[in-house]
Amino acid sequence: MRRKISLMLIGLFMAVSVFGPAQASRLDEIRERGTLRCGVTPLGESLTARDVEGRFVGFYPDFCRAIATAVTGGTDTVEFVLVGTNNRFDAIRSPDLDVLVEATTWTLSRATGMGLSFTAPYLFDGQAFLVSRKARYRHIPDLKGASVCVEGDSTSLENLKAYNTAKGLGLKIMEFSTIEAAFSALVERRCDAVSTDYTILASIMLSLASNPSEFALLPELISKEPLTPVVRAGDEAWANVVRWVVHATLEAEEMGITAANADRLRKEGPPEVRRFLGAEPGFGRTLGLDDAWAYRVVKAVGNYGEIFARNLGEGSRLKLPRAANALWRDGGLLWAPPMR
């Protein structure tokens, strides 16, 4: 018995030495603080911007509010923190930011070598080119020898360099600190095109161009860009909360739950719907949340289809098709693991 106890103590000592003492999850810190610090980047009215009242609006702020309401119970508990491509990863690795919710691409090098945890894709995008209609560029090969503005320190820059080399286009690549600066250079005719994610180009064009009809997006994409919320690595409990909030918006759309019918379905829906909405014992405890967290998310921002339609789809000025961002059952790439 004495030998068995000694072995157990040795095992415990080794575990503490290797893994260190247990640390509280960011989830507990956020609840104690009462606010979610959500990192966002200005990307135009459809993605992230301030309205005339100074309120953050767009696809990404909606997901900030979804996460906040799941954890704290209210959508007004988000503290929006502006970050840029040059400091966003330092910001999320610091104690000052809880989650990064913007157009961050999930890549191998970022997921394995930067102390980051990528959660669940909420937008599938691809890199495109925006040009002036007067220049009469119609397809990417027409840009041969042209100057292209791009935001530095981004996957867009690396994609553009690789594509330029592979296709032998001889592009003159000009780097800028922000996508707004790159677009301004296009407007001022200091470059022939600007390149980044399709949705960013479309949103920036609507927000910054005095006459958006003077510009056109070329039809081809040169990359795949799976975009996800990002948290600091090493806190799986917090990463799981963010991950399943995204999943919950997709699951709600699959189930036909909307902001308008959530109250009725919580009372009258089938058992799996009422469980999802927290009317019956559900899955809150395993996430460290109460059982009504998904109900609050849907009531606050709607299901994924509603979020997309309001900001990017038919309810927005962009009017983008769902395409790859449709649910799997509708031919898209988005799906949620079963919530059971």
pLDDT digits (tens, 9 = 90+) for 143-166: 999 999 999 989 999 999 999 999
- What digits encode the pLDDT tens for the residues 25-59? 999 999 999 999 999 999 999 999 999 999 999 99
Closest to 121 measured CA to CA, from 338, 316, 333: 333
pLDDT band at 75 (very low <50, low <70, confident <90, very high): confident
Asked whether the predicted pLDDT for residue 291 surpasses 80, the reply is yes
The SS3 assignment for 145 reads coil
* Sheet order of strands, 230-232 included: 78-82, 36-40, 99-100, 230-232, 116-118
Give how far Cα 200 sits from Cα of 5, 32, 41, 204, Å.
60, 35, 11, 6
What is the rounded CA–CA span in Å between residue 119 and residue 233?
A: 10
Q: Is 58 left (phi over 0), alpha (psi -120 to 50) or beta?
A: left
Residue 210: pLDDT over 60: yes
User: Does position 228 have pLDDT exceeding 90, yes or no?
Assistant: yes
Instruction: Please give the Cα distance from 133 to 151 (Å, whole number).
Output: 22
